[in-house]
Amino acid sequence: MKSWIRGGFACALALLAVPAVLTAQQQENPTLKGGISETGLRRVVIAVPLFSAPADSGARALALEVTRTLRNDLEASGYFSVVPPKHYRLIPASAAGAEPPFHEWQGVGAESLVQGSVHLDGDRFRVEGKLFDPAGRQMIMGRRYRGTQDLGRQIAHRMADEVVLHYTGRRGMAQSKIAFVARVGQAKEVYLMDYDGRQVRRLTANGSLNLSPAWSPDGERIAITSYRNELPALFLLDKQGNLKKIRLPNSALNISPDWSPDGETLAYSASRRGNADIYLLNVDSLRTRRLTSHRAIECCASWSPTGRELAFTSDRGGSPQIYVMDAEGANVRRLTYQGSRNDSAAWSPQGEYIAYVSRVGGSFHVHRLDLATRKVTQLTFGRSNNESPSWSPDGRHLVFASDRTGGYDIYRIPAGGGEPVRLTRTEGASAPAWSR
């Protein structure tokens, strides 16, 4: 019944929108385009009241940080809708150890409830969080964490992933990281941040150009292209920020690495005779293998999650388009036929989509290709450029770089389309790479 109403509403909206779009186009005005593609998943309404804390300024600050981060994480996951905090004041506080007033929480629409507390534990803190099912008047899950004051966000991220796991069977993305490139004077350096744009850390500091970070599947290393030694070469960046060059035979212009799902092989592009082709590199033995040997420019490979195929860009058909091939270099098929310029393929973690960038009019936009149906969905709109898509580990979100505010910054968007959330404020950030 509800879906019927929603359907009718959508139809009415569409009918209203069509003439508006037509007239707008006729008048050469900027057209408003949009789209929503949902999986049909209904968000669980969850209440996260402020964690209780003893009368200690440090504990109170920690409680506030954990609560706010947790609310933000749950909302961002796409699985939950957090009850607005102003409703919480209506609910009487329960005595410590007593069961929460479940019927009151149901009264504000909460289908789920997280209650937590912060305790002083010597010079450290103890944070407890419990997940309840108000309808069943039961606890679902309880976790206790110990840490220092500065770990509040980390604790909240872990708790959020546990909550998501207990509703979906899959861990959330709250503990994932995003590597990206930011301009520092004339140089470009690799940075790291939490998935929500917080806790930004600089990883390289060599004053050169450091580009196109790619995560190893275990999250321990990042492969990058660096111009530190004049010519672009591949480097491995470890978690201490140490940079190690991959010494390739007769290396020349080695760029754009991508790590195979088993962590053993890097796909990269190299131009050995002035023509870029795609190569594979065994990370341990440093043995390389050439995959493409076409006269066209081939670049920017992205592994399928099975490790059996690669998507890449080639201009063998006259314009840059996305192609796929087997990991042996055979069986090359063209994937994209719309758009004069398609680039930056990124294969989704579950394997069903390829995100890529396509030129629409004068600007670049992130698109998503459904491999089963070959249906293309445009995810970004407007006059800005939107580039370098990268998937969240759960495949439900994408990050990309956009110049919609003038300078380039990193944005996150639901993989089905939606409103982008700005993550950085550097006016010079690009090439985001989401950890696996």
Partner 1 sequence: MRFVLRLPTLQQLRRDRMLPAVLVSVGLHLGMVALGFAAMSWGSDAPVPLPVYTVSLVDLPQPGPAPAGEPAPPVQQEVVPAAPEPEADSPLQAVPEVPPEKKPEPAKKKTPPRPRPQPPAVKPQQKTASAATTSVPEQPPAADTEPAAPGTGLAASGAGSVDGVPTIDSDAFSFAYYRNILTNRLRSTWSRPLVPGGLQQAIRATVQFVVLRSGAITDVSVQESSGYPPLDRSALRSVFDANPLPPLPDPYEGNRLSVTFFFELTPER
According to the binding rule CB under 8 A, does residue 35 interact with partner 1? no
> What is the rounded CA–CA span in Å between residue 378 and residue 358?
9
The Cα–Cα gap between 277 and 260 comes to 17
Smaller CB separation from partner 1, 79 or 323: 79
2, 26, 40, 122: residue in contact with partner 1 (rule CB under 8 A): 40
Number of CB atoms found within 10 A of residue 36's CB? 9
Out of 60, 68, 143, 294, the residue judged to bind partner 1 by CB under 8 A:
143
Among 136, 185, 249, 361, binds partner 1 (CB under 8 A): 136
Token pair for 311: 């998507």
Question: In this chain, which of 6, 146, 308, 375 binds partner 1, going by CB under 8 A?
Answer: 146
21 binds partner 1 (CB under 8 A): no
| Residue 199 makes contact with partner 1 by CB under 8 A | yes
- Identify which of residues 79 and 279 has a Cβ nearer to partner 1 in the complex: 79
Contact 253, 276 (CB under 8 A): yes
User: Which tokens go with 133?
Assistant: 């099912």
| DSSP code string of 231-294 | S-EEEEE-TT--EEE---TT--SEEEEEE-TTSSEEEEEEESSSSEEEEEEETTT--EEE----
Distance of closest approach, residue 417 Cβ to partner 1, in angstroms:
20
Report the distance separating Cα 362 and Cα 387, nearest Å.
Answer: 13
Is the CB of 101 or the CB of 147 nearer to partner 1?
147
Determine the residue type at 295. R
x/- site string to partner 1, residues 201 to 220, per CB under 8 A? x-x---------------xx
CB within 8 Å of 358: residues ≥ 6 apart: 336, 338, 339, 341, 342, 343, 364, 365, 367, 378
Measured from the CB of residue 199, what is the shortest distance to partner 1 in angstroms? 8
Residue found under tokens 């997280």: 114
Instruction: Please choose, out of 134-142, 275-283, 294-302, 381-389, the segment that lies near partner 1 by the rule CB under 8 A.
Output: 134-142
Q: Determine the interface stretch with partner 1 among 170-178, 269-277, 404-412, 420-428 (rule: CB under 8 A).
A: 170-178
Q: Which of 177, 188, 228, 397 binds partner 1 (CB under 8 A)?
A: 177
**Nearer CB in complex with partner 1: 194/403:** 194
- Residue 220 CB, shortest distance to partner 1, in Å, is 7
Total residues binding partner 1 (CB under 8 A): 44
For residue 202, what are its two tokens?
């600089």
Q: Which contiguous run of DSSP H or E holds residue 397?
A: strand 397-402
How far is the C-alpha of 436 from the C-alpha of 416, rounded, in Å?
19
Site for partner 1 in 217-256 (CB under 8 A): 219-220, 238-241
Minimal distance in Å, beta carbon 124 to partner 1? 6
The least distance separating partner 1 from the CB of residue 219, rounded to whole angstroms, comes to 7
For partner 1, the closer of residues 236 and 327 by Cβ is 236
The length of the chain in residues reads 436
Closest CA to 30 of 16, 20, 38, 39: 20
Footprint of partner 1 on this chain (CB under 8 A)?
40-41, 112, 124, 128, 130, 133, 135-136, 138-148, 150-151, 154-155, 158, 162, 165-170, 175, 177, 192, 199, 201, 203, 219-220, 238-241
